[in-house]
Chains A and B, each alone.
Chain A
Amino acid sequence: MTLTVSGLDAGYGKLAVLHEIALEVDRGEILAVVGSNGAGKTTLLRAISGLIRPTAGTITLAGTPIHGKPAEKMAGLGLTHVPENRLCFPTLSVRDNLMLGAWAKKGDGDVDAVLDLFPRLKTRMGQAAGTLSGGEQQMVAIGRGLMADPSAILLDEPSIGLAPKVVAEIMEVLARLCEEKQLAVLLVEQNVRASFRIAHRALVMNRGRVALTGSPHDLLEMPEMRSAYLGGTAEAVAEAVQPSTPGN
């Protein structure tokens, strides 16, 4: 397993958000993490990438423990995080945004590979990232995350605010990427159907815990899935919880 998380607790100050999260993502695999907002999805990514310090638990990347390391070390260790709302560097050109993505490698990185994935960016290379459309900014953000040549990549809501067509395009690229580069992809999405189409496995979070795991197809069929989003009793959700660590 490339990325493993076990017994992870994290939060902000007094607010404990995550409770005993366990998950694993292998190379060449996309794990979709879904759940209503407030379920702790973004917090999970922040805890893994070191933006917040976990209060308990372990995180390993290719066998090496990485929990407790600051966020700025992660890219160098082979884990990148494409944050919510993209967070491109607005006055820097697309080229510079991408080049900075390779900061941890101390080299220039493979810009061509990114342009290969997102040909649309070719004509935008000199343009300030802040002037791009939302979809293009998302491509820059993902591209920036790829520049460090990571073994695992965390994506936070890449579909948010984008037209369905662009979402489909980005999802397709992610699927291709995962396979070609044998990346471990942890995809946090609220657009359940879009992410489930490309995910190999999925995990539903509810109130900071892992509520359900399984194959996307099975999960979509489960009534509990719907209740995790649209209510129903807490007991029904609890009953539906499966062992959160799948077998090897």
Chain B
Amino acid sequence: MLTDFLQLTVAGLSQGSVYALLAIGLIAIYTVRHVINIAQGEFAMLAGLGATWMVSVGIPLLLAILIAVLSVTLVAIVMERLVIARVKKLTTLTSLIVTLAVATLLQATLLLIWGPEAKGLPRFPGENLVLGGVSIRSQELWMVGALLIVGGGIVLFYEKSRWGKALRACAEQPVAARLVGISPVAASVLAFAIAGFVGAVAGLVSSPIYLSIWSGGLLLGLKGFVAAVLGGFSSFRAAIVGALLLGVLEVYVAGYIASGLKDGVAFIILILVLVIRPGGLVLKPTTVRV
């Protein structure tokens, strides 16, 4: 019993790590641009399928991963410059429609290039572990590790680095940020680059186990969104906690109730959170009025 439970928890945490990375991307863009990027999950699928293809034509795994991360980051920047920056009046409605359009376009592109089948990267190097009867696949460690390193890195970046602080400044007081000389264009591009980067990492580490498929990004992005809502769309830490919680809950539902219902969990949580606590898991509101 307990072993099963722990086994499921491990799977849930690794899955949740992927959602957490996507939530970080969504929050990065939302805080600076007030755009919810529906194409966030497509970044992950693009990276996964692209790297899988590269490996299949003989490019070494590590190199394929590097190229995939760089090109998806670039795609995100291009999306900002070519689409988001060009919408004349960026309202909630138009921002949802354009990012949905980009998501659709990316899906179609993936379908046309790599076909309808799900594909996966080879497992990353490493030994599977067995701890007290609970077997942990090495790839699951990679997934959690990616969150620790990349997610943790992003959090540190926002808290310690000059540009990270500038992004927070833009999110908190856009007018004052302009007045000290931070370019809103540069901030927006950087936010999209971060979103592309974390999206790509999420897609790459999850590809060996959960596979990559042209149509998979939307649901993945939606789960990232649920995690971001849990984080009140402002706090990375709360969103990461929320994402891990979501991942674990999903796996419990799949393990103890029915595997087919797994994808419904996110939606139920979303509705519940929005009804009960629209501010997410954040303890106190950060709005400061003077």
Instruction: List residues of A whose CB falls within 8 A of some B CB.
Output: 49, 51, 70-76, 80-81, 83, 85-92, 96, 99-101, 103-104, 130, 134, 137, 141, 144-145, 147-148, 161
Contact = CB atoms under 8 A, between A and B. Distances in A.
6 contacts: A71-B178, A75-B179, A80-B180, A89-B172, A103-B166, A145-B179
A112 to B, nearest CB: 19
B175 interface: yes
A71 B183 CA distance: 9
- Of all A-B residue pairs in the complex, the 9 with the closest CB atoms, nearest first, are A104-B181, A75-B181, A87-B176, A130-B288, A90-B288, A71-B178, A103-B181, A72-B178, A89-B169
A88 B286 CA distance: 13
A113 to B, nearest CB: 17
Contacts of B237: none
B155 to A, nearest CB: 13
B92 interface: no
Nearest to B187: A72
Contact of B173 (A73, A89, A96): A89
A65 to B, nearest CB: 19
B157 to A, nearest CB: 14
B82 interface: no
A32 B69 CA distance: 54
Interface in B134-185: 162, 165-166, 168-169, 172-173, 175-184
Given A83-B176, A92-B172, A100-B165, A72 B183 contact: yes
Interface of B: 162, 165-166, 168-169, 172-173, 175-184, 286, 288, 290
Contacts of B286: 90-91, 130
Contact of A88 (B173, B182, B184): B173
A72 B175 CA distance: 9
Given A74-B179, A88-B176, A92-B169, 4 more contacts: A72-B179, A92-B172, A104-B180, A161-B290
For the residues of A in contact with B, the DSSP-based class is: helix
A100 B166 contact: yes
Given A90-B286, A137-B290, A161-B290, A80 B179 contact: yes
Nearest to A97: B169
A92 B290 contact: no
A145 to B, nearest CB: 8
B168 A92 contact: yes
A244 B162 CA distance: 44
Residue of A85, A89, A130, A134 with most partner-chain B CB within 10 A: A89
Nearest to B180: A103
B173 A72 contact: no
A90 B183 contact: no
B165 to A, nearest CB: 5
Nearest to B169: A89
A148 B168 contact: no
Nearest to A128: B288
A51 B181 CA distance: 12
A72 B176 contact: no
